[in-house]
A and B are shown apart, each in its own frame.
Chain A
Amino acid sequence: MKFKSLSIYLLTSSIFLLCLLSILKIMSTLQGIDFTNLNISQNFILGICLSLGLLVVGNKLNHFIKIFSFTSVFTIFYLYINESAPIWYYISVFIVILFFSHKVKNYNLNYLKEDFVSEKIIFDFITLFGIIFFAFVILFPFYIMLVTSFKTQIALLVNPLDFSLDFKKDLSDLFKSYFVIFDTYNFGRYILISSFVSIGTVIITLMFAIPAAYAVARLNFFGKTFLSSSILIIYMFPAIVLVIPLYTVFSQLGLRNSVVGLLIVYTATTLPVAIYMLQGYFKSIPKEIEDAGIMDGHSWFGIILKIIIPLSLPAIASVALYVFMIAWNEFLFSLMFLDNPKSFTLSRAIQYLTGDAETPRQYLMAGSVIVTLPVLVIFIYFEKYLVSGLTAGSVKG
C-alpha cells in the first residue's frame, strides 16, 4: 500500500515538474533561445530525485531552508544536464522548481499512510496541472496574436520561433503594423462602422425588446403562452438557413451592402434572446410597485419608462453587453451582405485582408488584435453582467 502510493506520488509529481519545465522551455524557445531538445528522460529522472528528496526530508527541516536548498541543488543539476542558456532562463528554472517544492510541502512519509492517499495525490496534481494546462492552451494563441503583430514578415520567415521583442527600437517601429493598417487599409473607418453597427443594434434591440418583454411578462392577451414558448425556438434557428432568402430579398430591395441592412438583421436575430432575458427579470419585479404607478395615473408607457426601466438596469446592462458582443463579433451576415470595402465591418475587413495572399501576417494579426481587444476589455470590466448574459443566451453560440 505504501509502495503504491509512493510510486504514484513520484510519478505524478515528476510528470508535473516535467510539464512545467517543458512549457518554460517552449516559451523560452519562442524568445529566440536555441533549444532543440526537451531532455524528457533526464528531466524526468531529475524530477523523481527531487520529489523523493523532498519527501524523505519531510518536516525535519524548516520549510524555507528545505525548499531553497533543494531548489538550488536541483537547478545546478538542471544546468549540468541541459544546454547552456542566458542567465534569466536559469532564474526562471529556479523559480519553477521553487514553486514545485513549495507545492509538495504537504507530502511526507507519514502522509503516504493515510486513506485514499493515491487518489488524493492524483487529484492534487491533476488540479495543479489542469490550471497550468488550461491557462497555457487558452492564452497561447492570444499571445501569438499579440506578439506577431509587433514582428515583421521577413523576421518570422527567417526564424518562425523568434518572437522576442526588441524594446530598444523606436516605438513607432514596434507599432508599425498598426500605423500601416490605419493608413493603408483604412481600419479607422472599419472601427467606426463596427462601433456604429454594434451600438446601433444594442439601442434598437432594447427599444423593441423592452416593451415586448414587458407585455410578455405582465399583460394578459390572446396567444401569450404560444408567444413566450416560441421565442426560444425561433432563437434556435441558425443564421445559415436565413442567409439565402435574406440575400435575395435584400439584393432586390437594395439593402445589401448597406449598414442599415446589417442593423435590421442583427436586431432581428438578437431580439428573441433579449426579450427572453428581460421578461424573466421583469417578472421578478413586485407587481405592487406598478400598481402604485397606476394609482399615480401613469400610462403603460410611463410605467415602463419610470418604474420598470430604472428597476431593471442590471438586466438591461447584461442584455446590452451581450447584444453588443454578438453584433461586434458577427461574421456570417457581414460576409454575405458586404462586398464594398466602403461599408465593411472589422470582421469582414480582416477576412478581406486574408483574401490577398500577399498581405503580411503582422497586419492581419494587428487587425485581429484591434477587433479582439475591445471585446476582451469590456468582458473583463463588466464580467459580472456579461456572464449572466452569456448564461441566458447560451442556447445559441
Chain B
Amino acid sequence: MSDTLSKIEKRTAYTLLLPAVFLVFSIILFPIFANIWISFKEVSLKDIRIPEPRAKKIVKSISENTSELKIIYKLRNSSLIQKISDVEFKDKLPSNVIPVDLDSRCEFKSKIIKCQFGEWKAKYRENFEVLIKDENNNEIDKEVIKSQKPSLSGKADNILLTTNFTLKNFKKVFYENDFLDLLLTTFYFTFFGTIGAIFFGILAAQLVNQNFYGRSFMRSILLFPYVGPVVALAYTWTLLLDPNSGTFNALMVNFNIFDEPINLLGQKYMVMNIFGFELKLRLALTTVIFFEIWRYFPLAFLFILARLQAVPKDLYEAAEVDGAGPLKKFVHITLPQITAIISILFMIRFIWNFNKFEDIFLLTGGASGTRTLPINVYQQGFAISDIGMGSAVSIVIVLLLIIFMFIYFKLIGRKANEI
C-alpha cells in the first residue's frame, strides 16, 4: 500500500519538476556544454545561418499573344561557403495553364511543376526559365502567376553539427590575445570592486544601524543604485564624467581643483607624481571600479545591516560597563560578528564581479584598458564575429568560475547555510 503511495509521490514529483528542469537544462546547462563544442570549431557569425535554396520569380510576356508567358526563376544558394544537396523545386500553375518544352530535370503533374536540381555548390546561381501557355488560348493573368510563390527544399550541413575540430581558437586565446593583460585587468577590476563594495557596505551599515531621524528613508535610498536599471545609470555616469560638457569636470575646473578636464573614462593611464615617484594609475579602469562600487555596495550594506541588527544589544552594554570605547566596541564586538558574512559576501561578489559585462560595456565598451574576460567574449564573438574564439574565451571563464566555486563551497559553503 505504502509502496504504491510512494510511487505516486515520485511520479507527481517528476511531473511537477519536469517543465522547470527541462527549461533550465536547455537554456542554461545545454549552452555551457555547447560552448565546449563551438570552441573547438572555426565558426564565424555569418556561418551560423543554415544555407538554403532561394528563388525569385519574374513573369514576362514574350509576344503580343497574351496566352503565352515566360517565367524566370532566379535560383541561388544563400550560402557563400556551403553546398546544398538534393535541391527540390515546386511551383503551382493555375488550371488550364501548361508548361511548354519543360527542362529535362523537371516534370509536370497535376498542375505542379516539380524539379530535381541535385547539388548546388556554394554561391551557385542559375536563371531557370519556363514557358507557359493556356490550353484554350485564353489570356493568362500575370498577377495570379506572380502571386504563387515557388517552394524549395534541400539538404545542407549545419556547420555547427559537422565534426571537424581544431585547437586554433585556444591557441589564439592564449598567444595572440594579450591573455596576461586580460587576466590581470579582470582580477584588478574584480578584486578592488569587491573590496571597495564591502568596505562602503560596512560603513553604510554601521551608519544606518544607529538611531537618527529619517533612518528608514536612508535605508531605501542606499539601495537605489542596485535597484535601478544599469543602462540608465551607466549613461548618467558617462554624461556626468564627460570631459567636454560633463558636470563633474565642469565643477572641478570651475573650483580650480583640476587645471583642465580629465577624460575619466577614456584615458588609459594617469601619471601621478607622489614624492618624486612616478605612479601610473589605470584611470579608466579605476573609474569603472568606482562605478562598480557605487552600484553594488548596497548589496553588501543590506547583508551586513541584517547581521548587525541581529547582534544582541547587551553585548555592547556589557562592553561599556567594562570601559570599552566606540573603537574597541567596533573591533571586538561588531567585527567578529560580521566576519562570517563578509567572507561569504567577498566570495559571492568576487564571482559576480568576475563575470560583470554590462557595466563595463556601457561605460567604456572595453576601451582604454578596461578589457576584461567577459568583455572579450563579446568583442571576439560579435565585434570580430569569431564565434569559435568567443566560445573559447567563455570556456576559460567557466573553468576559472568552477575553481572559484570549488573554493567557495570548500571554505564557506557550510557556513553559508548556517547563517
Contact A219 B13 (CB under 8 A): yes
Q: Verify A241–B251 contact, CB threshold 8 A.
A: no
Contact with A along B255-277 (1 / 0, CB 8 A): 11000000000000000000000
Cα distance A36–B251 in the bound complex, in angstroms:
9
Type the 1/0 row for A352-368, where 1 means its CB is closer than 8 Å to any CB of B.
Answer: 00100000010011011
Q: Which residues of B contact A65 (CB under 8 A)?
A: none
Does A332 lie within 8 Å of B24, measured CB to CB? no
Interface residues of B in 166-186 (CB under 8 A from A): none
Q: Hey, which chain B residues are within 8 Å of A29, CB to CB?
A: 251, 254
Give A139 to B236 CA distance when docked, in angstroms. 12
Q: Is there contact, CB below 8 Å, between B27 and A242?
A: yes
Which of B231, B246, B390 meets A244, CB within 8 Å?
B390
User: A214 is contacted by which of B16, B221, B306, B358 (Cβ under 8 Å)?
Assistant: B16
| Complex Cα–Cα for A105 and B10 (A) | 69
Expressed in whole angstroms, the Cα–Cα distance for A140 and B374 within the complex equals: 29
A165 close to chain B: CB less than 8 A = no
Interface residues on chain A, number (Cβ under 8 Å):
102
List B residues 363-377 near A (Cβ within 8 Å): 374, 377
> How far does the Cβ of B4 sit from chain A's closest Cβ, in whole Å?
14
Complex contact B34–A116 (CB within 8 A): no
Which B residues are in CB contact (< 8 Å) with A212?
16-17, 19-21
A361 to B235, alpha carbons, bound, how many Å? 10
* Chain B contact residues: helix, strand, loop or mixed: helix
Identify which of B100-108, B127-135, B322-330 touches chain A: B322-330
Cα–Cα, bound, A142→B6 (Å): 56
Known: A237-B401, A271-B24. A252 touches B223 (CB 8 A): no
Q: Does B152 contact A (CB under 8 A)?
A: no
Q: A372-B232, A390-B299 are in contact. Are A30 and B9 (CB under 8 A)?
A: no
Q: Is the CB of A368 within 8 A of B235?
A: yes
Task: Name B211-229 residues within 8 Å CB distance of A.
Answer: 212, 218, 220-229
B27's closest neighbor in chain A, by CB?
A268
Q: A26 and B251 in contact (CB under 8 A), knowing A131-B218, A264-B27?
A: yes
- A106-160 contacts to B (CB < 8 Å): 115-116, 119-120, 123, 127, 130-131, 134-135, 137-139, 141-142, 144-145, 148, 156-157, 160
Considering only CB atoms, which chain B residue lies closest to A212 in the complex?
Answer: B20
**B348 and A395 within 8 A (CB):** yes
Q: Which residue of A lies closest to B212 (CB)?
A: A131
Q: Is A24 an interface residue (CB 8 A)?
A: no
**Any chain B CB within 8 A of the CB of A284?**
no
Q: With an 8 A cutoff between CB atoms, is A293 at the interface?
A: no
- Determine whether the beta carbon of A141 is less than 8 Å from that of B405: no
State whether A211 and B204 are in contact (beta carbons under 8 Å apart), knowing that A29-B254, A329-B230 are contacts in the complex. no
Contact digits for B350-386, partner A, Cβ 8 Å, 1 yes 0 no? 0110010110001000000000001001100110000
Tell me if A244 and B377 are in contact (CB < 8 A).
yes
Interface residues in A276-333 (C-beta closer than 8 Å to B): 300, 325, 328-329, 331-332
> 6 closest Cβ contacts across the A-B interface?
A116-B325, A268-B27, A368-B232, A238-B355, A245-B34, A245-B31
Residues of A within 8 A of B (CB): 26, 29-30, 35-38, 115-116, 119-120, 123, 127, 130-131, 134-135, 137-139, 141-142, 144-145, 148, 156-157, 160-161, 163, 208-209, 211-212, 214-216, 219-222, 224, 227, 233-234, 236-249, 251-252, 264-265, 267-269, 271-272, 275, 300, 325, 328-329, 331-332, 336, 346-347, 350-351, 354, 361, 364-365, 367-369, 371-372, 375-376, 379-380, 383, 386-387, 390-391, 394-397
Contacts A116-B325, A241-B394, A245-B38 given; 15 further ones with Cβ under 8 A? A30-B247, A138-B225, A139-B224, A142-B228, A212-B17, A244-B391, A245-B391, A248-B34, A252-B50, A268-B24, A329-B231, A372-B233, A379-B227, A394-B348, A395-B348
7 A-B pairs within 8 Å (CB atoms) are namely: A116-B327, A163-B247, A209-B20, A220-B13, A329-B228, A372-B233, A390-B227
